[in-house]
């Protein structure tokens, strides 16, 4: 039986959390170690926290099925990120089945709350990825995580880059659409465009910084996002990666130069007061950035798969057209009152 977390589940979650698996690498690397029980209690008492925990505790033919799944709602509320699963897959022979049942339940619960999709990040080609695939999750992108742990951070502030402002939001989204494959956009962008649902949102927290790189014609040529935590910093670069026509070669060179300028600017910003590891994720379609990271002392840490499961499908309502007989009847009935015709609620 799978139910939302309640106070009666405190002992079970406490017993399982030591064998839980954190599926949010950014939080795992930047923040203090996550405590699943604390997150479950926060979601139980504070609905505004956006934390949802579901617990499996049942017996089947003498075998005990115990586990839990935790999801965190994104800022828009229209998507959840599957952030933690328990127990670990290598803890028992039944763990994969426990995960599968929990994932199906989380999908149903999310759909009932009008959540459009579930997202998660898993080690590429791992057993966990196979379980999520069986639960109808699909890989929409791969990305590499690079890390820099040197004692000295070298960078160069760019005179062109400026802090992002709220009015830059639409330009950031336009750049994201231009630089991102359509399949990835369909997986990550939500229908509520008024909420900053894209991965490159304008920072609103003190632990986040955003910088804009203007282009030669006044357009936005690049965007840099920096997030910091107690245990490190996280970079994401967005720039124009390709050109077209006769200007393709020069455009690609400009794109590499722009990425290098943003990366050096980020390292310069982080060189003051940031001694913890610095991480940067690069997606498979973002060519050139991997070489830049390597040149500046970054090294690959892990390869990840980004997965999505859609919980709702948008269906276009067909245009209704009255048949001639009904149209004719409507014209005649328009001169007769409802009380006289004896039909209530029609006109």
Secondary structure class of 133 (helix, strand, coil): helix
Q: From 3.40.630.30, 3.40.50.300, 3.30.300.30, 3.30.470.20, which CATH number describes the 2-136 domain? A: 3.40.630.30
Contacts of 6 (CB under 8 A, 6+ apart): 44, 55
Q: Where are the domains of the chain?
A: 2-136, 146-304
Measured CA to CA, the distance from residue 153 to residue 213 in angstroms comes to: 21
Homologous superfamily, domain 146-304: Gcn5-related N-acetyltransferase (GNAT) (3.40.630.30)
Same fold, 2-136 and 146-304: yes
Please give the backbone phi and psi of residue 64, each rounded to the nearest 5 degrees, phi first: -90, 130
User: CA dist 225 to 200, 237, 270, 296, Å?
Assistant: 7, 7, 12, 18
Q: Between these two residues, 241 and 81, which has the higher pLDDT value?
A: 81
Model pLDDT for residues 94-153, shown as the tens digit of each residue: 999 999 999 999 999 999 999 999 999 999 999 999 999 999 999 999 999 999 977 777
Q: What is the mean pLDDT of residues 175-201?
A: 75
**Percent of the chain having pLDDT more than 90?**
59
Q: Are the beta carbons of 245 and 290 closer than 8 angstroms?
A: no
d(CA 20, CA 157) in angstroms, rounded, equals: 41
Question: What is this structure's pTM?
Answer: 0.82
- DSSP run (H or E) holding 203: none
Of the pLDDT bands very low, low, confident and very high (cuts 50, 70, 90), residue 328 is: very low
Task: Examine the pLDDT at 185 and tell me if it is beyond 50.
Answer: yes
Q: Is the pLDDT of residue 191 over 70?
A: no
Bridge partners for 292 per DSSP: none
192 against 143, higher pLDDT: 143
**Per-residue pLDDT tens over the stretch 53-89:** 999 998 876 678 999 999 999 888 899 999 999 999 9
């Amino acid at each position: 039986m799978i139910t939302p977390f309640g106070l009666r589940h405190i002992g079970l979650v406490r017993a399982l959390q030591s064998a839980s698996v954190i599926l949010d690498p950014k939080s795992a690397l930047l923040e203090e170690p996550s405590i699943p029980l604390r997150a479950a209690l926060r979601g139980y008492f504070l609905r505004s926290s956006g934390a949802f925990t579901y617990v499996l505790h049942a017996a089947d033919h003498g075998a005990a099925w115990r586990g839990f799944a935790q999801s965190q709602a994104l800022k828009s509320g229209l998507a959840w990120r599957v952030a933690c699963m328990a127990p670990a897959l290598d803890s028992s022979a039944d763990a994969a089945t426990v995960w599968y049942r929990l994932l199906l339940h989380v999908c149903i619960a999310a759909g009932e709350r009008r959540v459009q999709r579930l997202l998660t990040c898993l080690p590429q080609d791992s057993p966990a990825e196979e379980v999520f695939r069986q639960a109808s999750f699909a890989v929409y992108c791969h990305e590499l995580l690079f890390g820099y742990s040197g004692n000295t951070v070298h960078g160069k502030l760019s005179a062109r880059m400026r802090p992002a402002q709220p009015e830059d939001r639409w330009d950031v989204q336009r750049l994201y659409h231009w630089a991102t494959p359509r399949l990835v956009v369909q997986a990550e962008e939500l229908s509520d465009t008024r909420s900053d649902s894209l991965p490159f949102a304008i920072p609103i927290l003190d632990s986040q910084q955003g910088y804009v790189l203007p282009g030669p014609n006044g357009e936005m040529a690049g965007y840099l996002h920096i997030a910091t935590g107690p245990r490190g910093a996280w970079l994401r670069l967005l720039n124009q990666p390709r050109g077209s026509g006769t200007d393709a070669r020069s455009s690609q060179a400009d794109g590499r130069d722009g990425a290098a300028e943003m990366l050096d600017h980020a390292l310069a910003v982080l060189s003051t007061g940031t001694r913890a590891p610095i991480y940067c994720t690069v997606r498979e379609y973002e060519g050139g950035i991997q070489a830049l990271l390597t040149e500046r002392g970054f090294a690959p840490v892990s390869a990840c798969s980004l997965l999505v499961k859609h919980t709702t499908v948008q269906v276009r309502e067909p245009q209704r057209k009255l048949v001639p007989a009904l149209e004719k009847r409507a014209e005649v009935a328009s001169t007769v009152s409802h009380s006289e015709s004896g039909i209530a609620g029609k006109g």
